[in-house]
Amino acid sequence: MQGLMQDWPLLTHRIIDHAARIHGDREIVTRSVEGPIVRTTYAEMRKRALKVAQRLDREGIKLGDRVATIAWNTARHMETWYGIMGIGAVCHTVNPRLFPDQIAWIINHAQDRIVITDLTFIPVLEKIADNVPSVERYVVLTDKAHMPQTTLKNAVAYEDWIAEVDGDFKWKEFDENTAAAMCYTSGTTGDPKGVLYSHRSNVLHSLMANSGDALGATSKDTMLPVVPLFHANSWGIVFSAPAMGTKLVMPGPKLDGESVYELLSTEKVTYTAGVPTVWLMLLQHMEKNNLKLPDLKVVICGGSAMPRSMIKAFDDMGVEVRHAWGMTEMSPLGTVGALQSQFAQLKGDAKLDVLQMQGYAPFMVEMQITDDAGKELPWDGKTFGRLKVRGPAIAGAYYQVDKQILDENGYFDTGDVATIDKYGYMRITDRSKDVIKSGGEWISSIDLENLAVGHPQVAEAAVIGVFHPKWDERPLLIIQPKEGQTVTRDDILQYMDGKIAKWWMPDDVVFVDSIPHTATGKILKTALRDQFKDYSLPTAAA
């Protein structure tokens, strides 16, 4: 028997409709790409999003067609999302930090018909324009006065382009499972893979984000998403903020400490979200100039693990730190580290211990840890295994990749290795391709690296598994000493001794001038594995 409730599909444009209706005067403040700080409202944004929809419709963009955006966090960028999705087209966010060839590859794979971009990215797009034949026109997010000369095909200034229509337009109606947005993940190996979000998944994710223990901002809050719109939906904030009527502050292209501080301070921001690099720059700027942020309540930090010292710095300022973990494939929120009631009274190191974990899954994210055979492992905070996830805002397949990515229970393997404790708090211990499998037991490369960098003469450390005739794999520790410093194998091993289990101790230590990194700053372990693929451990000879 079916329930008798109304058929009201979960469509993203209903969010901006709600914001315009109930929170119409609430502001979106932007540091524009042109320079000045500009202000608009949710009511105004909805009107302009409708013009985008109408203009795209006139351009012949149909249900399912892909429209790319390569742009900073601005109100203009945000309104194009609602405009694109509101006619059932797919908003494809492209990361401008990728290499030009990767950008071209992704645009070709998605077959984007229109590219909407900022002034900043015209040069890189001009470089690849000849290699992306699907693109019919480029729309530059600026006005006539700032529009430069460009060789880009049918290039037009955004303000001129939307001025061609009157905004007398209605959103299209379609099923909630219709594709709404697309974002490619680029690993260190293989081609980028497209995640295809639906209207339903975007709306459900925003509801999840707005619960008090996830992001949890309200209509009285002001949110500054430093995390880019091109990075996994800016953690869904362009949907969750208007759904609640939260005022938004968009940082545009300037993400340095001084610029972010200025906006946080002048706009009295209460919630902000971004990666550790940004917070490091902010904290350094604040310390140097003896600055305070009395209005700031919550900092959400994800993308990579937040150092303990940074958590402590915010905690000392009276700011609540919420560690978050997720993936493009998860829309992206997987866990958020709000304090559950049993931890609410913790202080000092005990509190930092909890805040340093990646947090727990909100309702609608189900997690498992398993061994290689798929057997579930206990949630004891110690045992670590492959982290798998299930939920309505988690990818079930990649765009045009004919490969099953879910296991027989419907779980997606995140590629991370983690522990989960009895309260559901998850801690990432490694990537599954980096974990060292020693005689059937797993050793976390990240834990060893974190320990080794604590040595005063070590600049950076990397751990990889190398072949061992008896144990299959054993850890090799690769050290980049601090400039002008010398340190020996025995120094390092002695330093580590007693701080970890005996059988976790690296079988050897080697020294390099420089540890290689990916474009996004992660250690390039594939290169290290290649470099040391024939390395013979001293223990192997025994």
CB 212 within 8 A of CB 240: no
Applying the rule CB under 8 A, the residues between 407 and 426 that interact with a copy of itself are 410, 412, 422-424
Applying the rule CB under 8 A, the residues between 96 and 125 that interact with a copy of itself are none
Nearest to 419 by CA among 383, 471, 365: 383
Q: Is 247 in the site for a copy of itself (CB under 8 A)?
A: yes
Euclidean distance between CA atoms 369 and 386, whole angstroms:
5
Angle at alpha carbon of residue 26, lines to 20 and 31, rounded to 5°: 115
User: Residue 420 has which token pair?
Assistant: 């989960």
Find the shortest distance in angstroms from Cβ 343 to a copy of itself.
9
Q: Is 22 in the site for a copy of itself (CB under 8 A)?
A: yes
Told to judge if 437 belongs to the known catalytic residues of this protein, a careful annotator would answer yes
Catalytic residue among 185, 370, 518, 520: 185
Q: Is 236 in the site for a copy of itself (CB under 8 A)?
A: no
- From 87, 227, 361, 443, residue interacting with a copy of itself (rule: CB under 8 A): 361
Catalytic residue among 47, 172, 268, 437: 437
Our CB check for a copy of itself shows the closer of 129 and 365 to be: 365
- From 398, 442, 471, 532, residue interacting with a copy of itself (rule: CB under 8 A): 398
CB 38 within 8 A of CB 75: yes
Told to judge if 171 belongs to the known catalytic residues of this protein, a careful annotator would answer no
Q: Which stretch binds a copy of itself (CB under 8 A): 103-111, 224-232, 314-322, 356-364?
A: 356-364
Q: Which stretch binds a copy of itself (CB under 8 A): 192-200, 293-301, 467-475, 484-492?
A: 192-200
Euclidean distance between CA atoms 220 and 46, whole angstroms:
20
Our CB check for a copy of itself shows the closer of 7 and 316 to be: 7
Q: Is 314 in the site for a copy of itself (CB under 8 A)?
A: no
Euclidean distance between CA atoms 391 and 205, whole angstroms:
10
Q: Is 47 in the site for a copy of itself (CB under 8 A)?
A: no
Binding mask 78-97 for a copy of itself (x = CB under 8 A): ------------x-------
Nearest to 92 by CA among 119, 71, 74: 71
Q: Which stretch binds a copy of itself (CB under 8 A): 92-100, 154-162, 359-367, 492-500?
A: 359-367
Which amino acid type is present at position 105? W
Catalytic residue among 79, 329, 449, 473: 329
Told to judge if 185 belongs to the known catalytic residues of this protein, a careful annotator would answer yes
Using CA atoms, how far residue 401 sits from 110, 153, 398, in Å, is 12, 30, 5
Nearest to 112 by CA among 182, 202, 197: 182
Write the DSSP string, 98-135. S-HHHHHHHHHHHT-SEEEE-GGGHHHHHHHGGG-TT-
Q: Is 516 in the site for a copy of itself (CB under 8 A)?
A: no
CB 45 within 8 A of CB 29: no
Q: Is 60 in the site for a copy of itself (CB under 8 A)?
A: no
Beta bridge partners of 68: 92, 115
Q: Which residues of 130-165 are buried (b: 16+ CB within 10 A; e: fewer)?
A: eebeebeebbbbbeeeebeeeebeebbbbbebbeeb
Binding mask 161-180 for a copy of itself (x = CB under 8 A): --------------x-xxxx
The residues annotated with a catalytic role in the active site are 185, 329, 437, 442
